[in-house]
A and B are shown apart, each in its own frame.
Chain A
Amino acid sequence: MAHFTKATSIKDWLNQRLAIEKVEKVLASEYWIPKNINFLWAMGMILVVTFALLLVSGIFLLMYYQPNVDLAFDSVNYTIMREVGYGWLWRHVHGVAASVVFLIIYIHMFTGIYYGSYKKGREMIWISGMLLFIAFSAEAFSGYMLPWGQMSYWAGMVITNLFAGGSLHADGLVEWIRGDYVPAQAFLSRFFMLHVLLIPLAIIGLIGLHFGALRIPHVNNQDGEEIDFDEESKKYLAGDKAGSKVIRFANDFMAKDMMVVGFYLVFFFYLVFYHYGFAMDPVNFDPADGLKTPAHIYPEWYFLWSYEILRPFSTDIGLMAFAFAQVIFMLLPFLDRSPNAVPASRRGLFKYWFWAMLVDMIALTAMGKLPPEGAFSTIGLVAALVFIGLWIALPVITYFEKKA
């Protein structure tokens, strides 16, 4: 039987019951981080902080928001924006964070791709990361429905129509998802549920999985060096802090991480106070009208690249290209046939693949925003074909890559 003694302090009392000292060691002071990393490794922590900002601002919005097709628009644009004290602050924080979180996710992803942090035991980190990306996309989309403006309604219409599967004509599935022939009350209520409960729960679970996946392989480093964490941590604990290749997660690494987070937060609140406009589509300040489509329907900037892959093709091919774009990043650890886990700059052709992919996605994003006419249509089509071509080329060029 477990034996308890009279506690000498509150800490000791807790320690006997919850082993808080051990927990602290496992999670923080004896969780080891390589020294050889740079500010790009702070993106994960920035994402945690941004998620917290979304959660807190969301809780305040939730207190006045009305998930009803007749009331939703005014509850946001009138009640929250004009009546509730500092209601505008929560809305702008929520909107800006929802947009910026994708910028950081993309940087985080491309950092992982550049340093090869998705292989040699880090596959599950990558896969859980991509699941987070999908969950965040679903969260952003469902949230976008809630103000029930013109863009909410029509984005809801167009995106749910994707589920008809083109020539498959699965209209029954589309009506099932909406709970009506068109987006209406049933649609708004269920997307409200998804946005405030089910998807956030999934995200929290996935963040847990993402962190769990990091524990055994640990984070990568700037040279893709395989570090013996047992060996190096022993050195550190024995007092050879300078000779060891690792430092404690807390407080040592956290101090630097939080420094980057600090710069980020200054930038973030600069956007919230002076430049929130980019996160608020002007078309969405008109209430939803099922009998009038806006002149151009385009998604928020972070979905533009995959939207542009859909657009230049006929329906069925477009849908296939779109589905391809949605899942292909998930398969990266398996499509990259080279065992090298070093920075792209030291990986022969992969270096060009990396930069070509980055530039292509930026080109797709830019074209997705422009009306589908003339030269823009052509550039968009070329960029979409390049995207698919690059993924087909990846296994080949990495198969022939020399061992670094």
Chain B
Amino acid sequence: MKDNSRRGFMGKAFGGVAAVGAVASLFAMKKSWDPLPSVKAAGFTTLDMSGYKENELVTEKWRGKPIFVLKYTSEMIAAMDESQKPRIITVGEASYLVTIGLCTHLGCIPSYDRKKESFLCACHGGTYDLVANVTKAPPPRALDIPPFTIKGNTLVLGEVGPEYLEMKKNGLTL
């Protein structure tokens, strides 16, 4: 009996030590899978907005992701309704669409049709209008707008500015 309880105690003691060790190693393993600091730090891109041509989609790169930049024509702006206008980003005199060019469904890159002034995602057939609001499912929401701040005639991606915060607050992007 005495022997038994001593063994029982040893079993429990070992179990306790092992449990602490297991939790600690799981923690270390989780951390080892995290993105590296160098990956996180390389997260800023500056765009010079003076070079873009109207109604011509340009794909830039930020954090390895494609970024769509589309300079609107004045006719395009005139034809927009109230659900579309708030998504315009204005730098200097000109108005732009700036979004992450990954379909919000499962991340394919939609293509832009200049004539129809809309985007089509070939993967599962989703479509977006010229401010990248969804016009046909499966995408659940408009293309996301990357965090940005406006500095003179440039746009810094990855840095949160007041215009971006405003858009986020109004639920225009995630």
Instruction: Report the Cα distance A311→B66, complex, angstroms.
Output: 24
- A37-77 CB mask vs B (1 if < 8 Å, else 0) is 00000000000000000000000000000000000000000
CB of A158 within 8 A of CB of B64, answer no
CB of B33 within 8 A of CB of A372, answer no
Q: Chain A contacts of B63 at CB under 8 A?
A: 181-182
Q: Chain B contacts of A167 at CB under 8 A?
A: 140
Chain B positions 55-99 with a Cβ under 8 Å from a chain A Cβ = 59, 61, 63-66
A254 → chain B closest CB, angstroms: 42
- A287-322 CB mask vs B (1 if < 8 Å, else 0) is 000111101110000000000000101111010000
Supposing A179-B36, A377-B125 touch, asked if A293 and B108 sit within 8 A by C-beta, the answer is yes
Q: Chain A contacts of B33 at CB under 8 A?
A: 176-177, 179, 190
Q: When the two chains form the complex, which single residue of B61, B105, B139 contacts A291, counting CB atoms closer than 8 Å?
A: B61
CB of A316 within 8 A of CB of B107, answer no
Q: Chain A contacts of B161 at CB under 8 A?
A: none
CB of B64 within 8 A of CB of A296, answer no
Q: Does B109 contact A (CB under 8 A)?
A: yes
CB of B106 within 8 A of CB of A158, answer yes
Q: Chain B contacts of A190 at CB under 8 A?
A: 33
* Tally of B interface residues using CB under 8 Å: 27
- B31-62 CB mask vs A (1 if < 8 Å, else 0) is 00111100100010000000000000001010
Residue of B nearest to A319 (CB): B106
Q: Does A180 contact B (CB under 8 A)?
A: yes
B126 → chain A closest CB, angstroms: 10
Q: Does A186 contact B (CB under 8 A)?
A: yes
A297 → chain B closest CB, angstroms: 5
* Tally of A interface residues using CB under 8 Å: 36
CB of A293 within 8 A of CB of B122, answer yes
CB of B108 within 8 A of CB of A154, answer yes
Q: Chain B contacts of A182 at CB under 8 A?
A: 63-65
Instruction: Report the Cα distance A122→B123, complex, angstroms.
Output: 41
B109 → chain A closest CB, angstroms: 4
Supposing A158-B108, A291-B59, A297-B108 touch, asked if A372 and B125 sit within 8 A by C-beta, the answer is yes
Q: Chain A contacts of B65 at CB under 8 A?
A: 181-182, 290
B70 → chain A closest CB, angstroms: 16
CB of A313 within 8 A of CB of B138, answer yes
Q: Chain B contacts of A290 at CB under 8 A?
A: 61, 64-66
Supposing A175-B35, A176-B33, A186-B35 touch, asked if A158 and B125 sit within 8 A by C-beta, the answer is no
Supposing A290-B64, A291-B61 touch, asked if A169 and B174 sit within 8 A by C-beta, the answer is yes
Instruction: Report the Cα distance A161→B138, complex, angstroms.
Output: 14
CB of B35 within 8 A of CB of A176, answer yes
CB of B64 within 8 A of CB of A314, answer no
CB of B106 within 8 A of CB of A161, answer yes
Q: When the two chains form the complex, which single residue of B39, B61, B109, B125 contacts A293, counting CB atoms closer than 8 Å?
A: B109
Q: Chain A contacts of B43 at CB under 8 A?
A: 181
- B109-139 CB mask vs A (1 if < 8 Å, else 0) is 1000000000000111100000000000111
Q: Chain A contacts of B138 at CB under 8 A?
A: 311, 313-315, 318
- A172-203 CB mask vs B (1 if < 8 Å, else 0) is 00011111111010100010000000000000
Q: Does A162 contact B (CB under 8 A)?
A: yes
Instruction: Report the Cα distance A282→B56, complex, angstroms.
Output: 30
Most buried by A among B35, B61, B65: B35
A321 → chain B closest CB, angstroms: 12
Supposing A176-B35, A180-B39, A316-B140 touch, asked if A311 and B108 sit within 8 A by C-beta, the answer is no
Q: Chain A contacts of B39 at CB under 8 A?
A: 179-181, 184, 186
CB of B66 within 8 A of CB of A315, answer no
Q: Chain B contacts of A180 at CB under 8 A?
A: 35, 39, 64
CB of A293 within 8 A of CB of B35, answer no
Instruction: Report the Cα distance A318→B43, complex, angstroms.
Output: 32
Instruction: Report the Cα distance A162→B33, complex, angstroms.
Output: 18
Q: List 22 A-B contacts (CB under 8 A).
A: A157-B102, A157-B106, A157-B107, A158-B107, A161-B106, A169-B174, A178-B35, A179-B34, A179-B35, A181-B64, A182-B65, A184-B39, A190-B33, A290-B61, A290-B66, A291-B59, A291-B61, A296-B122, A297-B123, A313-B138, A316-B140, A371-B125
Other than the known A290-B61, A295-B122, A311-B138, what 7 A-B pairs have Cβ atoms closer than 8 Å? A157-B107, A158-B107, A180-B64, A181-B63, A181-B65, A184-B39, A184-B64
Binding site for B on A (CB under 8 A): 154, 157-158, 161-162, 166-167, 169, 175-182, 184, 186, 190, 290-293, 295-297, 311, 313-316, 318, 371-373, 377
